[in-house]
Amino acid sequence: MAETIPAHRPGGLTAAEVAERVADGRTNAFVQDSSRSVWSIVRANVLTLFNAIILACFLVLLAIGRWQDALFGFSAIANAVIGTVQEYRAKRALDKLALLNAPSARVRREGEEVEVAVSEVVLGDTLVLRAGDQVPADAVTTDSHGLQLDESMLTGESDAVEKAPGDRVLSGSIVVGGEGSAVVDRVGADSFANSLAAEAKRFSLVASELRSSINRVLKWVTWFIGPVALLVLNAQMIAQGGWAEASGSGAWRDAAVATIASVVAMVPLGLVLMTSITFAVGAVKLARQQVLVQELPAVEGLARVDLICLDKTGTLTQGDIVFDAAHPLTERPGWQQVLAWYGVQNDANATARSLVGRFTEQPTGAPVDRVAFSSARKWSAVTFGDGMWILGGPEMVFPAGRTSDPVLERLAAEAAELAATGSRTLVLAHGTPTHDETVPADAVPVVLLTFRENIRPDAAETLAYFAAQGVGVRIISGDNPQTVAAIARGVGLDAPHGFDARELPEEQDALIRVLDENIVFGRVTPDQKKRIVVALKTAGHTVAMTGDGVNDALAIKEADIGVAMNSGAAATKAVARLVLLDGKFSHLPSVVAEGRQVIANIERVSMLFLTKTAYATFLAIAFGILLLPFPFLPRQLSVTDGLTIGIPAFFLALLPNAQRYVPGFLRRSLTFAVPAGVVVTVGLAAYARLAANLSIPQAEIRTGSTLILTIIGLWILVVLSRPVTRFKGAVIGAMMIGLVLVYTVPIVRDFLQLVDPTLQTALLVLGTSVLSIALIEVVRFAHRRIAVRDVERALSDRAMRSSDARSRPTAG
């Protein structure tokens, strides 16, 4: 139950009252992590099913005195430690950036308006709310001037809710219009947003193809491990003379070691580690470029984007509105004073603030009434003793269809002409006051105002990059369509005209068609921005949305990847996946490039790890069915896997890679890994069967099997590293040297129980390796053909979606 709050006082709390509440713990100090908690990182890297399997195998080997074969346990520990440390370092880097850019709240204390950290808001504080603010704590409205809140993140209702004195405002909601004040009555964990883990404040998950695909593989392996382990154990006990014989003679220990070797080899521990490290390193690299990644998989997400929606103000332009000129239309005294009044209001937007200095003389009397600016209607109004003054977009204040009037015709012609040059236009009109927030029927335009915006110097280059990369662009803005189109042309877009969003069809298919045929959209309301993003996603696009205003928040939240400018509203940054801290639009290519590096490199190393999982599973099944002794000791597999997969994968995962994203990551990985695993299995099974028929000793069979797996593993590494650059060549060369040392240094060779092969064994090893390598090349050739078809299919699907959208009939 909420604590009773003191009666509202216009001056707010005193310093003593604030100190008392802080001492009592009645503050808003409930801060959820902007990124993963330390415990969640440790849990994700340590407390996993596969680590439990590894630990169980490790303890069994220690219990039976075969610690030499428990090397994989130390490898698993290293994996967990490296993964935890890398993710924790990324968390610290991101949390520092998040702390430096933490949102603040406006409160009134001792008669003064002050800004405090959200956590320093106390029970009974008077919040000062203006457009763009995110409400920091639950409160009751005490004063409202057209105060409108978007509560969609909390209630699911997309329509803005107007608040009157006495109405409740909920933490996490966004002020989208007007201004007002409210007294806080619930703070911290008691507030609505925190009690429901509001979407704007919790660690949520970006849709990640990499993560979901890897989780799917892990689930498959989980189902296989138990039955396969029993199959192998049975084969090994029979190979040791049968269950009774092996149990009595102690040979069951060798059977257990062989079974553990087969089970451990099936677990793709390194793949999970590499994915985590790659995400974390990518996020840290972007943090150094002043890009705050709110969720690590968002790095991957932007690489999948094929269409990016941009708000004009603050994205293509610098957001600094400059007043240009006034163009009088009718004689009406007092308009200069009204503009001066607009410029100094607390809730003045950038456009109104630009009037300060050009118009200085204030009206003599106080305003009688006012209508706050709304993103939906695109105008605001104030009433003085001489009547009602309306300031807004010309076509919004005077929509088409009104009775023909020479002044209105002149207004429309001049506004269109000025908008076509890229100038932003507003009209100041005058009429008889209304009481239902509508434009007076007798309103007449008094003066046409023009404003200029500076185009970002990096905008044209950034858009050219997206064009070259095949990423489509849509400009969706609340400004005049022709003004936006002129600015779009100024940054190199082919935009002969802008589409007026008031004419957007309601029917989804018709909307998709319009979106496909036009690049620039003006007079777009916040709800329409959201509808546009949803429609584009429905059409099969992966959509990014960038913006800085509160009117972009809904669309940014709905997009696959939301990108906010740091100069933007707190609410907009709260729902974005990425925040450009220095506001430089030119960082987006770096983010896309980083995402593409993550996807392309993880796809490459996944084929290494999944090939190992495939051949380990097939080997276990084959040797279990053939009742052959498993041809490896765990220690032999640990060293071989480390030098042919684990260590080189670490370097390959962090190399530059600009390969374009193509859907179907898991399918492509498995189309190489499964056939390659079959090749390795057939080669090793044939070698083991032939060697057993030739009565070659088991120690020599294991040595030969290890040699074959080493040679094939190195060749798979070479195949998946193509084109082999100087750096890749150095990594592969180092691994080859390491493997030579393994076979030649006596202490290492003795530890791994490797013996000198006879000529007969050497010939078998050579023949099996050569044949297997030839088959691996065939697999790679077929795999590349499949990859090319995937690219062609993706391009064809995209073209078909566009064609379908163009061919759909429009509504009505």
Q: What is the DSSP string of 541-552?
A: --EEEEE-SGGG
Question: How do residues 330-356 score in pLDDT, each as one tens digit?
Answer: 989 999 999 999 988 877 777 888 898
Between CA 567 and CA 573 the distance in angstroms is: 9
Rounding to the nearest 10 degrees, give the CA dihedral for residues 342, 343, 349, 350: 140
What per-residue confidence (pLDDT) applies to 203? 37
Angle of CA points 239, 245, 251, to nearest 5°: 65
Q: Which class for 288: exposed (0-12), middle (13-18), buried (19 or more C-beta within 10 A)?
A: exposed
- pLDDT (average), residues 131-142: 86
**Which tokens sit at 488?**
């779009």
Q: Is the peptide bond before 723 cis (omega within 30 degrees of 0)?
A: yes
How far is 516 from 799, CA to CA, in rounded Å? 11
Structure-block tokens of residue 777: 């090349």
What the block records as the tokens of 658 is 């600009």
What is the tens place of the pLDDT at every residue in 613-625?
Answer: 899 899 889 988 8
Q: Specify the higher pLDDT residue, 128 or 583.
A: 128
CB atoms within 10 A of CB 275: 25
Phi and psi at 150, nearest 5°, equal -95, 115
- Tokens standing for residue 345: 């209001």
Q: What residues contact 141, with CB distance under 8 A and at least 6 apart? A: 147, 163, 164, 165, 166, 167, 168, 169, 180, 181, 182
Residue 87 pLDDT more than 50?
Answer: yes
Q: What is the DSSP letter of 374?
A: B
Tokens of 387: 């009547």
Name the pLDDT band for 571 (thresholds 50, 70, 90): low
Among 260-264, 409-413, 579-583, the range of highest mean pLDDT: 409-413
Looking at residue 625, its amino acid is I
Residue-level pLDDT at 83: 67
* Tokens encoding 536: 């584009």
CA angle, 421 then 426 then 427, to 5°: 125
pTM as predicted: 0.64
State which fold the 291-316+456-592 domain adopts. Answer: Rossmann fold (3.40.50)
Q: What's phi and psi for 125, nearest 5 deg?
A: -60, 145
Whether residue 267 contacts residue 217, with contact meaning beta carbons closer than 8 Å, is answered with: no
Report how far apart, in Å, the C-alpha atoms of 6 and of each of 22, 135, 140 are: 16, 20, 12
Query: What is the DSSP code string of 176-205?
Result: EEEEEEEEEEE-GGGSHHHHTT-TTTS---
Report CA-CA distances (Å) from 440 to 367, 381, 386, 437: 17, 11, 14, 9
* Mean pLDDT rounded to a whole number for the chain: 82
Best CA proximity match to 446, nearest among 462, 460, 426: 426
Model confidence band, residue 446 (pLDDT cutoffs 50, 70, 90): very high
| pLDDT of 675 above 90 | yes
pLDDT given for residue 717 in this prediction = 92
DSSP letters along 667-710, please?
A: HHHHHHHHHHHHHHHHHHHHHHHHHHHTT--HHHHHHHHHHHHH
Higher pLDDT, 680 or 296: 680
Tokens 């139950």 sit on residue: 1
Provide the strand spans (E) within 488-585: 499-500, 520-522, 543-547, 561-565, 578-580
Lowest mean pLDDT among 232-241, 533-542, 723-732: 232-241
If you ran DSSP here, which 8-state letter would residue 189 be given? Answer: G
CB-based contact 263:225 (threshold 8 Å) = yes
For 327, residues 6+ apart whose C-beta sits below 8 A from its C-beta are 414, 418, 447, 448, 449, 450
Closest of 315, 323, 222 to residue 617, by C-alpha: 222
Contact call for residues 543 and 533 (beta carbons, < 8 A): yes
Q: Is 551 a residue whose pLDDT tops 80?
A: no
Give the integer Cα–Cα distance in Å for 270 and 606.
9
User: Which pLDDT score is estimated for 811?
Assistant: 36
Amino acid in the structure at residue 567: S
Using CB atoms within 10 A of its CB, is residue 400 exposed (0-12), middle (13-18) or buried (19+)?
exposed
Residues constituting the chain: 812
CA 187 to CA 338: how far, in whole Å? 40
For residue 396, how many C-alpha atoms fall within 13 Å in the half-sphere facing its CB? 28
**Catalytic residue positions?**
311
pLDDT in tens, 519-541: 999 888 878 898 999 999 998 88
CA atoms within 13 A on the CB side of 84: 17
Mean pLDDT of 296-325: 79
Residues contacting residue 747 through CB under 8 Å, at least 6 positions apart: none
pLDDT value at residue 708? 94
pLDDT score recorded for residue 210? 75
Q: Which burial class, exposed, middle or buried, applies to 73 when counting CB atoms under 10 A from its CB (0-12, 13-18, 19+)?
A: buried
Summarised one tens digit per residue, pLDDT across range 681-705 is 999 999 999 998 898 998 899 899 9
CA-based Rg of the chain, rounded to a whole angstrom? Answer: 34
